[in-house]
Amino acid sequence: MSAQAAGREEEPVGGSFADGSWEATEDAPRTVTSPESMPPERTAEAALRPRRLEEFVGQQVVRDQLSLVLDAAAARGRAPEHMLLSGPPGLGKTTLAMIIAAELSAPLRITSGPAIQHAGDLAAILSSLDEGEVLFIDEIHRLARPAEEMLYIAMEDFRVDVVVGKGVGATSIPLDLPPFTVVGATTRAGLLPAPLRDRFGFIGHLDFYGAEELREVVRRSAVRLEVELEDRAAIEIASRSRGTPRIANRLLRRVRDWAQVRGSGDLDLGAAKEALRVYEVDDRGLDRLDRAVLSALCGRFAGGPVGLSTLAVAVGEETETVETMIEPYLVREGFLLRTPRGRAAAPAAWEHLGLEPPAGAEGASPMLGRF
């Protein structure tokens, strides 16, 4: 890849890349409660992003730690240490990277792990960085191994060795780099090699948001969208957002659409409930795909246990889609159990579907999954 092509990869759409958007397969279905975002949504999401650290809602521990790191670097007049942000999609990793650059008054260069396939791609990006610039690498755990090894040296010694030619005639050209800061984002911190992880001076983990924090996110977003949002409607949207700000903002936009097209234009509790009914999001934040998985598990397989691939076939989806997009939330909310013999329905799943578990159903035992 040429430097010009690398530059095109780095240029964000609407000023942002979506956290975790590379994690889903290209043909995976996107629903209104999917934590990933499609390209047309990124401009709308960018308009709702906070610009400064004090505007960022939630993640109090990470915010305090980041504030300390940035203030100390500013006091010394030097670029801060490299930073790694980990957590599920949609929690604000990309937003925090933009805030870091804004707080440092430094330019921000954005790229992603899958876009850097060769060491030469990374060398082209690194050699064009200015002093103090922030390089944001989304999905950093998906870097190609040659690029990963080059990044080790660049992060530690601020230099890269570019090999020109092949065989016995190859020569190595050392390039000195100005001090810069790498901000990496990953949805799978466990896949990062230890040598790369150790080169980050600050590692922050983002957790799911509480209902009150999401209500504040929705309220602030409504102000940016210049719409009047009733407090009860904000609570309703927040309670169905799976603890994820991206989903909360998406649901807010869908409620706004319904209110403007089919309602009176007021974003009240009735508009919120009707809009979420149209988009098949129930009071626990489950959408059509989630309920299809639970219905198949309880209806066709008597609550399980059943293998993941069999369950995916039963609902007509890819195994990866069920495993990465549907299963994590169902497990976290206590609807689904992962057992050595497969997936089983928890008592909450039977109750949510209004069904009675058959006698002897494995998921009906309240002790299952505690050991």
Q: Please list the residue range(s) of the chain that carry CATH number 1.10.8.60.
A: 211-278
Q: Which pLDDT band holds residue 360 (cuts at 50, 70, 90)?
A: low
Active site residues: 93-94, 138, 187, 246
Q: What is the pLDDT of residues 149-195, one digit of tens each?
A: 888 888 888 888 777 767 666 777 778 888 899 999 998 888 888 88
SS3 content of the chain, % helix, strand, coil (to 5): 50, 15, 40
Q: Please list the residue range(s) of the chain that carry CATH number 1.10.10.10.
A: 288-364
CA distance linking residue 267 with residue 260, whole number of Å = 9
What pLDDT score was predicted for residue 182?
92
Residue 265 has pLDDT above 90, yes or no: no
Return the CATH number of 211-278, one of 3.40.50.1820, 3.90.420.10, 3.30.70.141, 1.10.8.60.
1.10.8.60
CA distance linking residue 154 with residue 123, whole number of Å = 9
Return the CATH number of 288-364, one of 2.60.40.10, 1.20.1420.20, 3.40.50.2300, 1.10.10.10.
1.10.10.10
What pLDDT score was predicted for residue 238?
92
Q: What is the pLDDT of residues 87-120, one digit of tens each?
A: 888 888 999 999 999 998 889 999 988 888 888 8
CA distance linking residue 187 with residue 102, whole number of Å = 23
The three-state secondary structure class of 266 is coil
Q: How many residues does the chain have?
A: 371
What pLDDT score was predicted for residue 160?
81
What pLDDT score was predicted for residue 37?
52
Return the CATH number of 3-205, one of 2.40.240.10, 3.40.50.300, 2.40.50.180, 3.30.1490.20.
3.40.50.300
Q: Which residue has the higher pLDDT, 42 or 161?
A: 161
CA distance linking residue 348 with residue 55, whole number of Å = 37
